[in-house]
Every structure is written in structure tokens, then in C-alpha cells.
Structure 1
Amino acid sequence: MRALLPIIRLLLTAAPWAMARGAILSVVVLLMGAALLGLSGWFITATGIAGLAGIGIAFDVFRPSAGVRFLALGRTAARYGERVLTHDATLRALAALRVNLLRRQARLGARDLTNLRSEAVLTRIVSDVDALDGVVLRLLLPGLAAIVTHGLVFLALGWLAGWPIAWAILGGYGPLATLIFWRLARRSIRPSDAVEAQDQKLRRGVIDMIRNRQSLILGATLGKREAALMALNSDARKAARELDLADRNAGAALSVLVAAVTGLALLAGGWLVARGFESPAVGAIGVFVALALAETLLQLRRGFSDYGRMVGAARRIGAQAKPRATISDRPQADLMSSPILAIEKPGLTLKPGDAIALTGPSGSGKTSLLMQIAGLADSDGISILGRAPDHWPEAALREIVAMVPQRSALIAGTIRENLSLAVNAGDDAMWRALNAVALDDVIRQRGGLDARLNEAGAGLSGGQARRLTLARAILKSPRLLLLDEPTEGLDADTANRVLAGIREALPETAILAALHRGADHSVFDMRMSIVL
């Protein structure tokens, strides 16, 4: 339950008035249901007794029947309003939860954000947010409405029908229903986690099998992969059956409880009637009210059945990223006098203005080394200005190091907006950066800095998109620039112009570039090869 408390606070504060209106209507619906059944029971019993006594013609049937119609219609209207308001409040609360989650993720370091990019993680986050809609709709509001309704019905029954009946109903439903729901919640946690985990594995497995179906067919391993997926499906079904069994057992226990409490109310009413404290019609009210109050419990069954899934989702959503280690109090002069980059293996040191070409066959680890230097992976044996990348605060590290990966990271928007992601630069600076990567003429032909790109930078060729990300890195003026295949997809003349332009635009920047071709360019002081 502790994991749900921050989520509940966020959901409640997102739309407090909408939540309050929905909660009030939830109570009104339950109270009207109890009053409707109680009045109907009294009316039926009273008219039957009047008929047996031969005074049926003198019995006033109009006011009770009007009350029954009013409660029936009022309950229907209140139920409609309750559904509209509670769902509206829940959607507002989930929107606030998503915004809060995105804001919190935006404050994470680059390494943590990189880990979030996998489709499995994104799918799990979406599934977790969807699971939390039940916190309000199936757990919080029904639970509060049930407590308030039982309290008000207890007071009303004590006043109208006698305290023995009121205590029989409250004493029967209160502790026993709490015990049943507590046991259901406890038993749902483990199978709910298992169902979620197996579903995620199964989903990833199916996607991977469809994506790699050709290689699986050619390698004659499609049957083996299918068998593995069937085993995952079997495990998921087993956990789902365990969860369903707990839910059905709780449902059976609630049915027995309703019957038992109804019987207690009947006994209490009969005791009062036998001693002349109440009339038979009034004594029968407790029986019908006990049946009506079953609605307050049955709607909570689904919420507590999903309790384990909600708790698991809340733990994952509410988990805070581990804080990065901060830089020590080493004197600033010592930091600035250290090499910009030092790598123990393969023994590499870069100072201001150095440029080194990193070569090697595909898979030799060039990209992995750049990721480590950028602080996006474990970086043992690497130091930037005398400190390991993960010992720098995120913002400070990004001021020093800029990395341009193979995949161009562009957004739907104007050229100016894409360049402004790095730094808030003026138009003149942007044009100089575009000129450095031989892209200025292309951008002018497309309409200048206000030319729009589609999602992920669609509208530019692969080489043009790569050069636009290089221009963005130039605008940042980092002390260390990491380039992963910066000339891939460019013809030889354009590649030479781009490398020369980067060096001219950033004369004091240390450059480390992973290359398959162009490593012999004059801008590089040396060439280092990584061997498998």
C-alpha cells in the first residue's frame, strides 16, 4: 500500500473537485439503492400485513409508491452522473500522472534516458499507467463510498428500525468484508506480478519472432522459438488461473457473507418484533437493506483483485532514478589542467585541438567506446578532465562533451527548432554552423531556417539529416566532440568539406571520430585502430 500512496496523492490533487463530485454521487447512488430496497421491503411487507388484517383499502399506497419511483429514477440519474464525473476525473488524473512521469523522466541523465528507449520499457510504462486507472475507479472511490454509506446506513437503521438490526449489519459486514478483501489483496500480488512479467516476455517474444521470421526459417529454428513462446504462454495462463482462483474464492466468500448478514438482520428484526419493540414491516427493513448493501462490497471485488497489478505498476512508475555521483571538490585549476580525455586502454589522450580517427572492423567496439566516453555506458578506465564521466553532474558533462551518433536525432519542426535543441543561438550562428557542414545552400533552397521537417526529420536525405545534427553539435561548441561515422552516406568531396568545416568551426575542440573511411583526412592528427 505504501507504493500506492504517492500515486493516490497525485491522482487526487490532479482534479480534486471532479473527484469530490464523483465521490458524492457514488455515495448518493449507494444510499438511494439501500433506501430503495429498504422502502420497497417495508412497502411490500406492510401492504401484505394490511391485506391479511382486512384494512388494505385504508392503507396509503400512494406516498410509498411515489417514494419508490423517486428513488428508482434518482438512483438511475445519480448513477449516470457518477459514471461521467468519476471517469472524467480519472482521465484528468491519468493525464496529470503522464505529465508528471514525463517531467521526471526529462530530469534523468542521458544514460537512464537511453535505457528507456527500448520498446519493452516503453510498452511496460504504457501498461503501468493504464493499470493505475483502477486506483480511482475500482479501489479509492468505491472504498470511500462504501465506508461512508455503511456509516450513514448504520445511523439511519438505528433510528428507524432499531440498533440491534444496525449493529447486526455493520458488525457482520465491517470486519468480515475487510478480512476477505485483505486476503484477496495479499493473494493477488504474486500472480499479478507473474502475469504482467510473462505477458511482457510473451509480447517481446512474438515481436522478435515476427521481425526475425526469415532468419528463423532459414536456420530451421522457427519450431524451437514457437515452443519457447508456447511455454511462456503456459506460464502466463498458470499465473492467470491462480489469480482467477483467488478472485472466485473471494466472490464465494462475499456471497456467503451477504447471506449470513441478511440472516443476522432477519434474526435481529424478528427479535425486536417478537418483543413488541417494532412492527413486522419495520423489522423487515433490515433484511432488504442488508441485501442492498451487498452492492458496496461487490464493486470492490474487482479493485482488490487487481491490487497486485496496481502495486506493481505504482512501484515501477514511482521508482526514482538513482542520482548520479557528483564531482568532488577538486580545485578547478587541477580539472582544467588535466587532459580533456584519457583512456587507459588503448592508451589514448586528447588535449585541446587534437583530432584522432578511431578505426576498426564492424563490431570491434568503436561505438561502445564513444558511448562510454559520453557517459551513456559503464566507463571504467576513462576520465574527462581527470574525472570519470559518471562522476560529473549531467548538465556539466553535457557542456563539455557532445556526441553525434550514427542515428540522426531530429524532431518534427523547423530547421531553427532542430538546431535550437542544442543551444539558443542566433540566426547568424546557425548559418555559420550550416555552412561548416556544407548544408547552407540546401537549407536556403528549402526555404531557410523556417523550413519545416516531418517526424524524425523526414524531408531530408540521410546524409543531410546527419549534417544537420553535426551543425547542432557545432553550435554547442563542446570541449570534446565525439563523432560516430560522421561522413557515412556522403560523397568524398562533401565528406572532405564537412570534416574540414568542423575543424575550422571548432579549432580548440578535441575530436574523436569513429570512421570506416576518411580516417586519412588531414584534420586528424593520428589514427588509432581497435582490433577485435
Structure 2
Amino acid sequence: MSLHRDDSLKQMFTRHRGRLLLTVLLLWTTMLAGTALLGLSGGFLTAAALAGAAGLGSGFNFFSPSAGIRGLTMARIVSRYFEKLVGHDVTLRIARDLRVWFFRRALPLAPARLAGIRTGELLARLMSDIGEVDGLLVRAIGPLLALGGVSLVAVFSAGLIYPPAALLLAVLALAIGVGVPWLTVRGAGGQERDRALHRAQLRTQAFEGLEGAADLTALHAREDWNLRVLVAAKQLRSRDRRRRWRLVGGNALHGLCASVGLAGMLWVALRGFERGAIDAALAAALVFLTVALIELWAGIGLAWQSWLSGRVAAARLESIVDQPPGVQDATEPVALPAQAATLQLEQVAFRWPGQARALLEGVQLSVAPGDRIAIRGDSGSGKTTLSALLLRLWEPDEGRVLYGGQDIRNVAQDAWHKQIAWLPQSAPVFAGSIADNLRLGDAQATDERLWQVLADVRLQTWAAQIGGLNAWVGENGATMSAGQARRLALARALLRGSPILLLDEPTEGLDVDTAHALLHDMVAALGGRSLVMITHDELPEGIVHRSYRLHDGRLR
């Protein structure tokens, strides 16, 4: 599926409407068969007992009701089976598509728009909120629609038997199906949003504590952080307790209405029998029908609560993916030169949204094919911002970024990103094999090409010693040294074959000898490609052709 900004959550659910409707129909059939079974069984047993007491067993119609009971039993079993089968199938499909929808909408926002959201918060959206939304069918939508349909059929059927009973069932349906849930969830929207916020805060605190466990231990701050997690857990527990008490109150109110309603139906049925409007079997059937409906209605409060929670979770997901992207593709993108071309910045100025101070102002730069340049500057001088503009994660407020004379605003983002291989300061090594990590740079690369790029960064011997391309490198390169991890990330960037290599602090955290060796190997592997290096380190001779300093928003 292609990416469209109008690919809404509602449209994602709409794609499954056929299976959703079939699931609701099967659930309705199951509920209807169960309700009819209890009503018919109650009437049949009452009629059989009265016929036996009166000695009228020979004239009693035994076969028709018993056939109906067997038929309803089989219908309930079959519909229940297929309801579970189809319901779980569509739920898993929605769970799959919901995650694809979220990633497809969220990834174009990274890193520009997602940079301001804590990783733990994003994990909370992915785990908790998506879990709430993908279970809407089985916990809320299906039960509510099916219960509404069964209630309508039950009221209509009671009307055919005895209209006063239908009126009482209608009042009960409104009281238990609408009134009690409304009282239960009234004003709960804010509480659900507050609960979702505290749930996300707990996940964030726990995640960041695990990620920073080494630093917390070194700073003797583990106890303080554990206390923060404990406080967050207690705050969430208090919200969960408040939610449970709200549901308990709703169940108590439901039980009160059900008791009054059942007593009322018993009185109405007896009155109808006394007046001769209905016989004893039908009076009993009405009472048992009410019992069946009350049992079904017992789950309506939880369904309404799930619906409310799902809506809050959906709003939290949409608040992430509905952000405008940092850049917009041109309506009619132009083609880039087939050969490597000159990269230019003309009078580029940029300030972060909501900030008055310009980080970049009047920046001029020209990088011809094969040029190697370094850009230095103090922390906060705008070096990372400059790389974000080169990657077209943001558009300059003033000026232009040109490639081969074309303003990259007029170029498709995918086409532009193919021209740049980016090695960020914290380039990750993913849990997987050496080949898995390298093929992120080129999915079609052959084994021979992988060995060649490993040789270019002097990792060939190391890779052979640990088991070759299929050797497992561990999460975050757990089995590698810092220098090896940086070389592997460099090999991945080189494998892209892009005409421009953009490096952000490639030697950060490495000792001088390791850093210089890495830089020399990188230059040897570049060939005719251009190099733009963001760094604050001193570079050995021959690494770059020109060096600039970013100061007060200008390159000098």
C-alpha cells in the first residue's frame, strides 16, 4: 500500500468491513440462539411440568419444542465456533495493519517531528495504545452491535407474545443498555486520558531506567530512579483502582436494575396468565427470556468502557501520526542528474520552529564531486542542524540547497536520499548477523560485495574469525568493540554507493589511534565520492581537502 496522508485510522478499519460485519453477524447469531434457547427451554419445561401434573401427557406436543431446542443448540455451537474463528482472524489482521499503518505514517516524521517525543512514550503508544485499539472489535464494537440487535429482536418477539412484556423489556434495555453505561462512563473521558498518560509515564520511566542502568549505577542514582518508577506505578495503580470502582458501581447499578426488571417481568407474566392473555408456557418463556437478556446485558458496561478506552488510545495514536511532516514532496518532482554533481548551499538560513534566534544565517558552501570537507563548531553552533538540511529533514527558511543546479525542494525525497549515505553519531548496530546489518545499506548486495566492503574498512579478518557473514553481533553490537561497531556502520554507509557521504561525529568516543585508522580507511574506500564530515576533532593530514568552522550561524 502506498503512503497517503489521508490514510486515516477509520479507513484502516473500513478495509476490513466485510469480516467485521460477518463477525458481528455471527456474534449476534450466537447471542440470539442462546437467548431463544433459554426462553424456549423455560417455556417447554413449564408446559411439560403442567401437562404431567394434569395427566395430559398423551396430548402434549413434545417433538416440536424439543426439535427447536436441538436446532438452537446446534446453531449456537456452530455460530460460536465460526464467530471465534472469524473474529480472531479479523482481529489479528487489524493488529497487523494497525502497526503497519502507524509505522507507515510515523516513519516519515522521523527524526524531525519525532525527535521531541521520548522513546519510552513512543513505546507506550506502540504497546498500550495500539493494544487498546486493535481489541476494539472483540471488546467493544462487536458486543455492542450484537447486543443492540438481540435486544431489538427480543423486544419484537415479546411484543408478539404479550405487548406489556415488550414494553417492560424496552424500558429495561434502555435502562441497562444506555442509562447504566452512561452513568458509569459519564465524565470518564478525562480520567481515561489521565490514566493513559500515567501508563505511558510508567513505561517511559521503566524503559529509560533500563537503557541508562549503567550510568545510573555509576552515578549512584539507581535508588532515586527506582523511587521514581515506584511513584509512577503507584499513581497508575490509583487510576486503575478508580476505574475498577467505577466499573464496580456500574455492575451494582446493573444488578439493581436487573433485579427490579426480573421481578417486574415475573409480575407482568403472572398478570397476563391470570387474565388469560397468555398461557403458562409463554409466561414462563417471557421470564426466562428476561433472564437471558439480563445475563447478556451484564457485559455492556465493560464494552462501553473498552470503547471509551479505545477512543482515547486512538486519539493518542493520531496525535503522533497527524503531525505535518518536516518537508513536503513537490507535486511534480524533477529528475536529478544521472552523474555525481556539485552540492551547493546558497544563503541558507534556518531557525527552529518557535525560536527567535537563527541557528544558520547566510550559509554558503560548495562541494564538488570528489571533494572532502570538514565542518567544525562548538556544541549548539548548528552543525547537526546543517546536516538535517542537507538530508532534507527540514527546509531552510531562506536560501536554497542545490544539487546539480536543481533546488532539492523540487526533488522527490526518495530520489534525494539515494544521493546521500548518512552515518549518524550514534549509528546503531542491530541485533542480527553481520550480513543483516550490512544489507540495510543495500538489500541486493551479494556476499562477495559484503566481503569487499568489510575489507575496505578492515573488518574482513575479524568477520572471518567470528564465523563469517552469518555471525551474530548482538543487540547494539554487544559482541563488538566501539571501533568495530563504528567500522561496521561505516561499511553499511559505503555499501549504499551514494555519491555523497555525510558523517556526523564519526570518531566520537574512539581513542586517537582508532579514530585516525578509521578515517584513513574511510578515505581509501571513498573512491570518487564526496565527503561532508561534521566533527569537532582534529583530523590527520590528507583526510579532507578543506575545513570550515561554523560560528554565529555562518561558515568561515
- Shorter-chain TM-score tier: 0.7 to 0.9
Deviation for aligned residue 1:134: 2.8
Aligned twin of 1:408 = 427
Aligned twin of 2:523 = 500
Q: 1:112 to 1:27 in 2, by over 3 A?
A: same
1:79-118 map, 5 Å: 79-108=80-109, 110-112=111-113, 118=119
Aligned twin of 1:339 = 345
Deviation for aligned residue 1:164: 2.9
1:175-186 map, 5 Å: 177-186=177-186
Note if contact 2:327-2:395 (Cα within 8 Å) is conserved in structure 1. no
CA deviation profile, 1:417-436 (whole Å, cap 9, x unmatched): 8357369789999898777x
Distance 1:502 1:210 in 2: 38
Distance 2:71 2:10 in 1: 35
3-state SS of 1:485 partner: coil
CA deviation profile, 1:44-81 (whole Å, cap 9, x unmatched): 433444455x3254463843456546645654554344
1:61-140 map, 5 Å: 62-63=62-63, 64=65, 67-68=68-69, 71-72=72-73, 75-76=76-77, 78-108=79-109, 110-112=111-113, 118-140=119-141
Aligned twin of 1:239 = 239
Equivalent of residue 16 in structure 1, options 2, 15, 18:
18
Aligned twin of 2:326 = 324
Deviation for aligned residue 1:514: 1.0
Deviation for aligned residue 1:313: 1.6
Distance 1:381 1:497 in 2: 36
- TM-score in terms of structure 2 length: 0.75
Aligned twin of 1:289 = 289
Deviation for aligned residue 1:127: 1.5
Note if contact 2:176-2:297 (Cα within 8 Å) is conserved in structure 1. no
Aligned twin of 1:351 = 366
CA deviation profile, 1:455-480 (whole Å, cap 9, x unmatched): 66968765455345435545443457
Deviation for aligned residue 1:88: 2.9
Note if contact 1:32-1:75 (Cα within 8 Å) is conserved in structure 2. yes
**Are residues 1:518 and 2:539 paired?**
yes
1:147-162 map, 5 Å: 147-159=148-160, 161-162=161-162
Note if contact 1:358-1:519 (Cα within 8 Å) is conserved in structure 2. no
Note if contact 1:414-1:453 (Cα within 8 Å) is conserved in structure 2. yes
**Count of paired positions:** 519
Q: 1:176 to 1:500 in 2, by over 3 A?
A: closer
What is the one-letter code of the residue matched to 1:280? Answer: A
Note if contact 2:140-2:306 (Cα within 8 Å) is conserved in structure 1. no
What is the one-letter code of the residue matched to 2:170? Answer: L
Deviation for aligned residue 1:177: 1.8
Aligned twin of 2:203 = 203
Distance 2:262 2:391 in 1: 69
**Are residues 1:421 and 2:441 paired?**
yes
Distance 2:220 2:480 in 1: 40
Distance 1:524 1:176 in 2: 79
Aligned twin of 2:417 = 398
Aligned twin of 1:144 = 145
**Are residues 1:193 and 2:212 paired?**
no
Deviation for aligned residue 1:172: 3.0
Distance 1:530 1:8 in 2: 49
Distance 1:396 1:84 in 2: 44
Q: 1:266 to 1:366 in 2, by over 3 A?
A: same
Deviation for aligned residue 1:94: 1.4
Distance 2:219 2:227 in 1: 15
Identity %: 23
Distance 2:14 2:98 in 1: 11
CA deviation profile, 1:379-409 (whole Å, cap 9, x unmatched): 7789634999999864365255543113334
- What is the alpha-carbon root mean square deviation over aligned residues? 4.7
What is the one-letter code of the residue matched to 1:252? Answer: A
3-state SS of 2:534 partner: strand
Q: 1:183 to 1:117 in 2, by over 3 A?
A: same
- TM-score in terms of structure 1 length: 0.77
Which structure 2 segments of 5+ residues have no match?
1-6, 350-358
Structure number with the higher helix fraction is: 1
Q: 1:528 to 1:40 in 2, by over 3 A?
A: same
Distance 1:214 1:355 in 2: 37
Note if contact 2:388-2:394 (Cα within 8 Å) is conserved in structure 1. yes
